[in-house]
Amino acid sequence: MSSTIARRRLGQLETSALGLGCMGISFAYGPPAEESGTQAIRRALDLGITMIDTAEIYGPLRNEEVVGAAIAGRRDEVQLATKFGFSFTADGQRIDGIDGSPANAKRALEGSLKRLGVGHIDLWYQHRVDPKVPIEETVGAMAEAVAAGKVRFLGLSEASAATIRRAHATHPIAAVQSEYSLWSRDVEDEVLPAILELGIGFVPYSPLGRGFLTGTVNAEALSENDFRLTQPRFTGENGARNVAIVEIVRSVAVKHGATPAQVALAWVLSRGEHMVPIPGTTKAARVDENAGALALRLDEDDLQRLDGIADRVSGSRNNEAGLATIDR
C-alpha cells in the first residue's frame, strides 16, 4: 500500500484522509459501471485510499458484491464501510420505508457480510434514522454486532445532533456521514459542533455536489435514469443560476493549476482533521484527480471566495422525498 496518502481518524478508526464512495458503480447515476468501477476501487487502494464506502441499498444489494470482489485478496488494506436501514423482502426487493428495528439490523448485517465476502465490517452505519424506533434500540442492536466481532465501529448517516448524542450515550459512535460541500453546509449549525465535542469523525458524502461543482455535469445530457434529474439544483432555472457557482470554483482552480474537483475537495479537507470526504467515481482517472486535492493548499483569499458560495445556491439540496428521510 502506498504511504503517500495522509491518514486521519474517525473516532478511534484510522483511515485515509480521503475515501471512495461506491454508490455510482451500481446505482443512481445512470447505467451500472461495474468493470470501470472495480478498476477505480483497485486504483484507490494502490494510491493508499483505503476508506471504501458502500451500502445495502446501492443496487440494491449488488454494490456490496462488486466492492467485495474488488477488494478480494486486499482486505487488510481496507477500512470497509457499509450501511443499513431500509426495508427489503426476503428475495432482496426494496420496500418503501426506513427500518431501524433490531431485527432488520441483524438481517442486514448477515447479508452484508456475505455479499462483501468478509468476516467483519470496519464501520457500520445506520443509513437513515427511523423515527418509529428509538435510536437506543437500533444502536443497542448494532453494539451487539461489535461485541460479537462482526463490526469494529459504528456510525450514523444524516442524523441530527440530538440523535447523535443519544446514540453516542448508548454506544460510542465513530463517525457521522452526511452531505457536506461548498454548496451544502447545513450540518455546520448543530451537527458539526456536536461531533467535535464528542470526538466523533465526520464523513462528507457528495463533497463534489453530486458532480455539479466539478463543472463537468450537463443536466441535459444525463441519462433518463440518473437521479440528478430529480434534484432541484440541477435542472431548470436553478441549474442555470448555479453555473455561476462553478465559475467561482473554476477561477480558484486556475489560480492553483488545479481542477474544480480538487478545489472543492481541498475546501472540505481544510475544515478539520476529523473530515474524511468520500467522493464517488467510476473511473480510475478521477480517483487520481481527487487524490491530488490532498496536496492543494487554499489560502485565505481562496477560502473567503469559496465560503460565499453557499449563500448563492439556487434550490434545495434534495427533492422532497430525499429531505423527508433526513433526521431533524
Q: Which amino acid is at 206?
A: S
- Active-site residue, from 29, 58, 125, 180: 58
Helix (H, G, I), strand (E, B) or coil at 203: strand
Helix (H, G, I), strand (E, B) or coil at 145: helix
The C-alpha cell that represents 268 in the structure block: 472540505
Residue 180: closest CA among 72, 267, 51, 109? 267
Are 176 and 191 contacting, i.e. CB atoms less than 8 angstroms apart? Answer: yes
Minimal CA–CA distance to 182: which of 323, 317, 6?
A: 317
Residue 153 pairs in a beta bridge with 123
Are the CB atoms for 152 and 122 separated by under 8 Å?
Answer: yes
Give dist(CA 231, CA 227) in Å, integer.
7
- Among this protein's residues, is 29 annotated catalytic? no
Q: Write down how long the chain is.
A: 328
Cα torsion for 178, 220, 230, 161, to the nearest 10°? 20
Tell me the torsion sign for CA atoms 154, 325, 169, 142: negative
Catalytically active residues are 58
